[in-house]
Amino acid sequence: MSEFFTRLGDGAAVMMSKEDIRYDVEDGTADAADRGQIPELAKEEVDYLVEILTMPQKNVSVKRGHEGIMTFDAGTLKLPVRAGIPVDRLATLMIHERILCSDTMELCTTDYSYKSIKNFVQEEAMTMELAQNNCVMPIFYGAMPNLGQYTKPDGPIDNWSELLPMGKIAEAREAQEEAVEHAVSDMVFITGQMAEAGACGIQFDTVGASGDADVLAALMAAKELKKRFPNIGIEMGMAGEFNLGMHGQLEFEGERIAGAYPHQQVKMAEKAGVDIFGCVVNTNSNQTFAWNLARALTYAKACVAAAEIPVVVDAGMGVGGVTNTNTTPTDVTSRVSKALLEIAKVDGL
């Protein structure tokens, strides 16, 4: 076979030669190494990745003994909201546990931000209690810090995205610092309610979506929660492979947050008391699947090497090397899973 079925970053199917696939794998790992200042994949890892990418099977799987933990962020949004299946959240959790074989799962709501949830947290707590009574797997509660929600007109603070283009940099920074205080307070409050309802853990999802202040809020909340609820599990999933510097000067425990890559992000998370780290690498739609997966593996491998806590890699649409398509192709997701577990040695997906 001179050419192999593979895909572009936007999911389009293409046929490529093994040489071209290898070229993209080498280019992808070099790009990650250059940006993250981390080692490239070793030659034998590149060889094995090329082998995975060119396996003739439509779907591939891990070797026995390399299985990983499977969980879902935005968990209870997958079936009833995104797939449009008319099941309630409890049924969703049970389907994931008993049919889809999830090892852990996140209970969440469509208003996926801690600020919004404050208004109906008691109802969420009741659902959590019901879920805990009906499921065996650990169930987390999760949402995003979503600092943007604290800006006018949704919140009390001036919008730094409007202040920055006006050159009001000091004001934009002050606004972000103020938003951090509100977000920490909300995240700690909601986790307290969920802990009382029996939640096994709390998940901070898409951390950094509003920049480095968003990351600081999640880290500070985690630190406070470890003091108040030492037995609750804390999972932190990121928004991208580096922390976007909307503020640029914020630090956590003496380390600048902006610009931190996964192997640095995980160390900050550990210092804050986070128990499980969610590594995120964004997919470039213009590059090939081979390029994107090699790049994701390079970041994930460095993150796992640096971590002392379990690392799960976000392997859904547009992240972790998975193509940017609404319904992700299984030839892609199965190869991503195999490569992340066997080459990057991640603990779960």
Partner 1 sequence: MTKEEYIKAAIDSMIKGDEKLAVSVMNDAIADGVDAAELLSEGFSAGIREVGDQFGRGRMFLPELMLAADAMKAVSAIVEEEISKKGGTAEKKGTMVLATVQGDVHDIGKGIVASLIKTQGVKVIDLGRDVPAADIVEKAVECGADLIGTSALLTTTMGEMKVLEELLKEKGLKNKFKTLVGGAPVTERFAKRIGADAYGEDASQAVAEVARLLS
Tell me which residues touch partner 1 (CB under 8 A).
Answer: 8-10, 12, 35, 161, 164-165, 167, 169, 172-173, 211-212, 242-248, 258-261, 282, 285-286, 317-318, 324-326
Closest approach, Cβ 78 to partner 1, in A, equals: 15
Q: Is 183 exposed, middle or buried (0-12, 13-18, 19+ CB in 10 A)?
A: buried
Q: Which CB atom, from 119 or from 326, has the smaller least distance to partner 1?
A: 326
Q: Which CB atom, from 71 or from 176, has the smaller least distance to partner 1?
A: 176
Q: Which CB atom, from 242 or from 277, has the smaller least distance to partner 1?
A: 242
SS3 303: helix
Residue type, 251: E
Tokens of residue 265, six digits: 């992000």
Closest approach, Cβ 82 to partner 1, in A, equals: 10
Exposure of 225 in the CB half-sphere (CA atoms within 13 A): 34
Closest approach, Cβ 284 to partner 1, in A, equals: 8
Q: Which CB atom, from 97 or from 212, has the smaller least distance to partner 1?
A: 212
Closest approach, Cβ 321 to partner 1, in A, equals: 15
- How many whole angstroms separate alpha carbon 300 and alpha carbon 319? 12
Calculate ∠ Cα 44-291-52, nearest 5°. 45
Closest approach, Cβ 283 to partner 1, in A, equals: 8
Name the DSSP class of 254. Answer: T
Q: In angstroms, how far is the first alpha carbon of the chain from the final one?
A: 32
Element (H, E) at 13: strand 13-17
Query: How many other C-beta atoms lie within 10 A of the C-beta of residue 285?
Result: 15
- How many whole angstroms separate alpha carbon 1 and alpha carbon 37? 37
Closest approach, Cβ 236 to partner 1, in A, equals: 18
Q: Which CB atom, from 243 or from 337, has the smaller least distance to partner 1?
A: 243
Q: Which CB atom, from 191 or from 283, has the smaller least distance to partner 1?
A: 283
Q: Which CB atom, from 211 or from 348, has the smaller least distance to partner 1?
A: 211
Classify each residue of 217-229 as buried b or exposed e, where b means 16 or more C-beta atoms within 10 Å of its C-beta. bbbbbbbbbbeeb
Q: Is 206 exposed, middle or buried (0-12, 13-18, 19+ CB in 10 A)?
A: buried
Q: Which CB atom, from 132 or from 161, has the smaller least distance to partner 1?
A: 161
Peptide bond preceding 153: is omega within 30 degrees of 0, i.e. cis?
yes
Contact (Cβ atoms closer than 8 angstroms) between residue 234 and residue 201: yes
Kindly give, in sequence order, each residue whose CB lies less than 8 Å from that of residue 55, ignoring residues fewer than 6 positions away: 335
Closest approach, Cβ 45 to partner 1, in A, equals: 24
